[in-house]
Amino acid sequence: MVSLIESAEKKNRLPIQIVWGTIAISVIPFFLHLAGFDFGSRKIPFVLSSALEMTAHEVTESMFVSLSGSFTHTLLEWSAFVSAIFVAILAFVHFSIKRDVTTPVIGMALFFAGSMDAFHTLAADRLIEAVADNRDLIPFTWAISRLFNALIMIVGVGIFLIKGDRNLKGDLRFVLTASGLFGLAAYGIIHLSAVSTNLPQTTFPESIVTRPYDILPLILFIFAGIFVYPRFHRKHPSLFSHAVLVSAIPDVAVQIYMAFGSTALFDSFFNIAHFIKILAYVIPFAGLILDYLQTYRGLETENVNRLQAEEEMRSSRMLLQEAFDAIPLWVFVKDLDGRYLVVNRQFANDLGVTVDALLGMTTRQSPLGNDEDKRRFLKNDELVLARGERIEWPETYLSLPDGEVRPFHVVKAPFQNSKGETVGVIGAMQDVTVRVEAEKELRESEGALLRLKQTQTLSELQASQSSRIEAYRDFIHTVGNLITPVRVKAANMIHDHRNQEYLDQLQSRARLLMEKQQTGDLERYLSEEGKEDLPRFIRGLDILKEIARQSERDFKACDTALNKVIETTVAQSRLQKELAVSMDVDLMMVIKAVLSLMEDNWKQKGIAWEFSVRGDDTIPPGEVILKVEKVRLFNMVHNCLKNAGEAFTGVDRNDKKIHIELRVSEQDVRLDVSDNGQGLSPEELALVGQIGFSTKHFTATSEGGSGLGIHNCQIFMARIGGRFELTSKGPLQGARAIMTFPIG
């Protein structure tokens, strides 16, 4: 933080060379004067009596020589005034760019201070009408112009110390009003000085303070340099405000040379002071130039950054759209008016429209759902925006464009911009028809078992011997119809040895009852040695019901996995024609896009990763172009890196690492992904790639895997003439996947 503040302060200060140069130029003439250098103008008076004996040319030459001091004075003063003009012009140019009112106001203060210097010069040269003697006019107007310079600068800067400029940014009327007031003050002083016939004596050669009228400007410049200008620079840090502060150095030096050194017009200290006064105008001018250059470079950098940001945003949108298109769900983003801003290809295709056609449609205009569905959709959007949180609807029925009504799992959440403001709704939808039907079948089976128990009770069987036998026959027939499908489902889903024993006992009892019924011994068996079998049989049915309830989660998990395989297969078949278009794809860009998607997930799991590129002399790394199906390549790389991250599930180690390496050669391109996760046994390695086999098993928190990912990778690589290899040294030894792409 401190370094940032220091950097910002350094940015708003003149280069140290300019500061030291200003000090040197202000001080060195004094030491040169002490060393014997005379900076005064030659004092050769024009003798009128001698002019009678001179030619016209000699008279002119003699007059020019006698006026050399006046000419030097004019050049010095006019240089200062021209510098003030440039300061004012550049100040308004700076104002047009940054809309900062401080610059033109102070620039105009300097301009009118320079105008006083111009009047001082023109009056001394008699180019404007003035009635006083030059011996009094020049020192007096000098002192008045310097006093005006100090006061107008203090007033110009003080305005922004007292009032501030927060509400004045870009206010041209304020600038013109302040400039007009400065101009009126300058004109009033100029007029009074020009029409005054008697001006006070301002030079006292025999005194220590040779020009006492210059003491007050000296005090004001010192006060401004110590108290006013530094506060202004702190409040409005810029190169220009720092230049105003530095200009106090030559201003103070000028007053010292004049107040304590100059004893006559055009002497050494007189000319030194007038020369250094030019520096007092040039320093702010230099500050404005540097500030302008800094602003221009900042705008140029800002434009470059903006163009780069726009390009990155376009690339990010393309990658985001490609990622959305690869998801086998319906994904969309809507604004606050319910207008679709982003949709994925799966959504548009299933609705029978293009992505471009769907973009810009409102919820009511889209082909999804009937009028009631759309009202419910809008109401759900309002609920998400009102709560400001993610909401799920596990089973929502919607009408598709073809009239079919199907259930969907809908998830919606507020969509926020970079400022954290909610600007819309983002959502995802999944067709859950298969899951809903499986749950319905399970509920029907459970209901049948419950009804069987309720209708077949011991009290009914004890009513009479004949009715019991008839009931047994109906009961056995019903059990024969129900036990087989229930047995098959339970055997497929339950591996617990104790539950298997219950099922075996139940089946054996049912088989025994059926055998007794066929041999005609059912009545005797139930009344004698088998009279306890019926209650046990019914208790077995109770146990079977409990098994069914316990297995419900396993049925759902199995159904979810099957649903996932079915949806993936359907999605792949729908996109087959579209994805089968080969194009030039930058593999490096695809890898970086997938890494950006996986990075947050890996960080949460404590996984460290690194990506490196290796190439030979003929094919430099950095841009690897493959002619393949773009979305399939994206899916394959995403699946490979996703598997590497999931390889750490259940692995307890602190150094979780994934290494991705891209090797480029003349013959091929190899993408090598290795991890130090759970690894594979030789038996598992032999089954990898077969549909249905996966090392990701069903758990309470995991849906398991289908085996389609690696299977599809193998098919894709084989079709483009490449290779897919998966190796592992064994359990907990990690795994390595190598994809070799052909070039050309």
CATH at 69: 1.20.1070
In a domain, residue 568? The reply is no
CATH for 336: 3.30.450.20
Q: What is the pLDDT of residues 676-702, one digit of tens each?
A: 998 888 888 888 877 656 776 544 344
Q: What is the pLDDT of residues 95-123, one digit of tens each?
A: 887 788 888 888 888 888 888 777 767 77
* Residue 487 pLDDT exceeds 70: no
Q: Are residues 215 and 270 in the same domain?
A: yes
Q: Are residues 400 and 285 in the same domain?
A: no
Q: Are residues 425 and 449 in the same domain?
A: no
* More confident call, 553 vs 415: 415
Instruction: Specify the range with the lowest mean pLDDT, choosing from 25-29, 239-243, 467-471, 508-512.
Output: 467-471
Q: Are residues 427 and 445 in the same domain?
A: no
Q: Are residues 114 and 49 in the same domain?
A: yes
| Domain total in the chain | 4
In a domain, residue 395? The reply is yes
Q: Are residues 259 and 341 in the same domain?
A: no
From residue 679, alpha-carbon distances to 672, 675, 684, 709 in Å are: 16, 8, 10, 17
Which of 402, 431, 460 terminates a domain? The answer is 431
Q: Are residues 85 and 233 in the same domain?
A: yes
Q: Return the closest-CA partner of residue 638 out of 673, 612, 603.
A: 673
Confidence of residue 637 (pLDDT cuts 50, 70, 90): confident
Q: Are residues 528 and 470 in the same domain?
A: yes
In a domain, residue 311? The reply is no
Q: Return the closest-CA partner of residue 381 out of 394, 391, 395.
A: 391
Average pLDDT, the chain: 76
In a domain, residue 315? The reply is no
In a domain, residue 571? The reply is no
Per this entry, what is the length of the chain?
744
The residues facing 342 across adjacent strands are 333
From residue 336, alpha-carbon distances to 13, 99, 342, 357, 392 in Å are: 48, 35, 13, 19, 19
From residue 642, alpha-carbon distances to 546, 605, 688, 718, 725 in Å are: 38, 12, 16, 21, 16
Q: Are residues 111 and 186 in the same domain?
A: yes
* More confident call, 162 vs 408: 408
Long-range contacts, stretch 430-434, CB < 8 angstroms, 24+ apart: 430/329, 430/330, 430/567, 431/406, 431/407, 431/567, 432/394, 432/395, 432/407, 432/408, 432/563, 433/406, 433/407, 434/559, 434/562, 434/563, 434/566
Q: What is the pLDDT of residues 573-619, one digit of tens each?
A: 554 444 456 778 888 888 888 888 888 888 888 899 898 887 654 55
φ, ψ of residue 700 in degrees (nearest 5): -65, -25
Q: What is the pLDDT of residues 42-60, one digit of tens each?
A: 666 655 666 666 776 666 6
* Residue 475 pLDDT exceeds 50: no
For residue 450, the model assigns a pLDDT of 59
Q: Are residues 256 and 336 in the same domain?
A: no
Tokens, residue 609: 């990763």
Q: Are residues 426 and 446 in the same domain?
A: no
Q: Domain range for residue 17?
A: 2-302
Q: How far apart are CA 119 and CA 187, in angstroms?
A: 10
* Residue 31 pLDDT exceeds 80: yes
Q: What is the pLDDT of residues 542-551, one digit of tens each?
A: 565 555 555 5
State whether the Cα torsion 161-167-170-171 is positive or negative. Answer: negative
Tokens, residue 155: 């007033």
Q: Are residues 137 and 282 in the same domain?
A: yes
In a domain, residue 573? The reply is no
* More confident call, 353 vs 167: 353
Q: How far apart are CA 512 and CA 516, in angstroms?
A: 6
Q: Return the closest-CA partner of residue 374 out of 388, 386, 364, 382.
A: 364
Residue type for position 216: L
For residue 2, the model assigns a pLDDT of 37
CATH for 698: 3.30.565.10
In a domain, residue 421? The reply is yes
Mean pLDDT of 153-160: 84
Cα 209 to the chain's mean position, in Å?
A: 65
In a domain, residue 316? The reply is no
For residue 131, the model assigns a pLDDT of 61
* Residue 379 pLDDT exceeds 50: yes
Q: What is the pLDDT of residues 225-242, one digit of tens each?
A: 999 989 988 888 888 889
Mean pLDDT of 665-678: 88
- Rounded to whole angstroms, the maximal C-alpha distance in the chain is 173
Q: What is the pLDDT of residues 569-586, one digit of tens each?
A: 454 455 444 445 677 888
